[in-house]
Amino acid sequence: MTVYVQSRSSHNKERVQMGTINDFINDFGYSNNWFVEYVDEVNNQMRIMNILDIKEYISGKHLINTRPSEMFNGKEFVPRRIVLQYAKRLLEFGTAYLIGNKVTLTGNENVVEAIKTVYKNGYDKLDFDLVHSVNRYGNAYEYVYVKDGKITSKLIDVADSYPVVTADNDYVAFVEAYTINNVTFYSVYYDDRVEKYSNSGGTLQSRGTFDNLTGLPVLYRNDNPIDDVYGRSDLEDYKSILDSMEDLISKSSDAFYRFLVGTPIIKGQMLTNTDGLSTRIVGQGLTLDSDSDFYYAQNKFDHQAFETLYKHLMMSLLDISGTPGIILGKTDISNLSEVSIKLLFSLSNIKAMISEKYIKEGMMQRNDKVRRLLELQGIVFTDEEWDTLDIVFQYAMPQSEKDIIDNLSKLREMSAISVESVLGHSPYTTDINSELERLSGERVNNDMSNEGDNKTATN
């Protein structure tokens, strides 16, 4: 739960922000409880419904589940409804490929050390979750605040999020709204304060006003050619292909089983006094009249056409998602060179580069908010020092650990890289600071040992 400091904002700052909000309220004709009306607008509710549909799709509620029952041989036939959860795997791959390896901070040593200290408060997990949210829903929303004296952040559920953007594309406020047991709770974020409300008892009631030290929540999004505020879920590119794959494999499975069973047909007079073939006996025989005939009417199952169509849909899905076939075991590989691996992951790299552009933009805004909180704690940096800060992404592309170590070794021999950087890029190092301390301790012990050996030799 987010904790705020009770509001003591200056009147000047409040007037500046309220002027912007008032312009927005006046332009669109809202009342004093503008945030309630804003949340209930049709376009916002349609956007939230789309997010909820995505959540249900990821949980397994696909279009194929609505396939109706059919009549076969005069009886109700319940068709197969095969659900392919490739969407979850593809979204997870996209997230892990971009942010699975921790981001690296570069720049002024003091600035980087200060940010690293803040990032230890759970930001590795938060970064993964926000990228995953952007891939799934097109957006993520992060609020930076201070809790128990520590700088931290929380992700606001996209299904509860309503950023407020003016006609001039200015981001002026943010509304978080969710309903529990028929009671709706509102958190209205302004640049200098957060106002909380609920409609408990049927009327809107204030739950307090609190200082906002970091401004509005950070907006993360991915590329969307038709909207500058809301991103576009990657799932939108996959759903139609997956629906076709599920429909194809479900109907083909039904056709295949009907092909195995078939419909028994008898022409002419039966000599055997029986009601027909028993469905419980295998190999049962019939005695027919000389001009009678018996055969099974069967569907012809063209497995080659099915295989061609299914493989084409699968390859289209992998191409559009930028996922190499080897990830899902669709391609056999052996003795690949480093260049071959890069070619296999070229589409993944292109997709990750585009996503990185938008994610990095949001992270830089987060760091500016962190800087503001650090200054309140007495940790101040000049603009020149702060501007050196940068974020480097390391894509999770398979690499030869031997080649990495050989390259680091050569760079170190050339004095072209520091020990700290070597440890940072080593595949076997998990905690750089601990390794540096251990190395420093070993050097001290070796120096003391050498000094003792020299004294012994002199005596």
pLDDT in tens, 351-410: 999 999 999 999 999 999 999 999 999 999 999 999 999 999 989 888 777 778 888 888
More confident position, 255 or 283: 255
Reading the block at residue 238, the tokens are 């996959």
**For the segment 100-136, what is each residue's pLDDT rounded down to a tens digit?**
988 989 899 899 999 999 999 999 999 999 999 999 9
Burial of 182 (0-12, 13-18, 19+ CB in 10 A): exposed
Residue 341 is predicted with a pLDDT of 73
Residue 94 is predicted with a pLDDT of 94
Reading the block at residue 317, the tokens are 């899905």
Q: What are the Cα distances from residue 300, in Å, to 239, 249, 303, 453?
A: 30, 16, 9, 89
Residue 43 is predicted with a pLDDT of 94
**276 pLDDT band (50/70/90 cuts)?**
low
As a whole number, mean pLDDT of residues 190-213 equals 92
pLDDT of 271 higher than 60? no
Residue 174 is predicted with a pLDDT of 96
As a whole number, mean pLDDT of residues 159-178 equals 92
Query: What is the C-alpha separation between 113 and 117, in angstroms, rounded?
Result: 6
Q: pLDDT over 70 for what percent of the chain?
A: 81
Residue 219 is predicted with a pLDDT of 96
**For the segment 221-230, what is each residue's pLDDT rounded down to a tens digit?**
999 999 989 9
Judge contact between 232 and 224, C-beta under 8 A: yes
pLDDT of 2 higher than 50? no
Angle between the 86-99 and 235-261 helix axes, to the nearest 10 degrees? 140
pLDDT of 13 higher than 60? no
**For the segment 244-262, what is each residue's pLDDT rounded down to a tens digit?**
999 999 988 887 776 666 6
pLDDT of 231 higher than 70? yes
Residue 270 is predicted with a pLDDT of 60
pLDDT of 10 higher than 50? no
Residue 369 is predicted with a pLDDT of 96
Judge contact between 88 and 234, C-beta under 8 A: no
pLDDT of 76 higher than 90? no
As a whole number, mean pLDDT of residues 181-186 equals 94
Angle, alpha carbons 238-66-254 (nearest 5°): 90
As a whole number, mean pLDDT of residues 22-39 equals 89
As a whole number, mean pLDDT of residues 81-98 equals 93
Residue 72 is predicted with a pLDDT of 65
